[in-house]
Amino acid sequence: MDGPTPTRVLTPLDAVQARIAARPPLGRVETVPLAEAAGRVLAEAVRAAAAV
């Protein structure tokens, strides 16, 4: 082994992209307009990043 793997710091954009990737296609399960849903996820990610 070469040593410990450096921990990656997530940005709000990284967090949003990870949340989107973890979900099935939004068109099949999401009834909220996409812009509104994305805004909620981004706001949540920004709050989480600020809390660190």
6 to 15, 44, 52: CA distances (angstroms): 18, 25, 18
Domain ranges, ordered by start, for the chain: 12-51
pLDDT at 32: 65
pLDDT in tens, 4-44: 555 666 788 888 878 877 776 654 555 667 778 788 888 88
Q: pTM of the predicted model, to two decimals?
A: 0.36
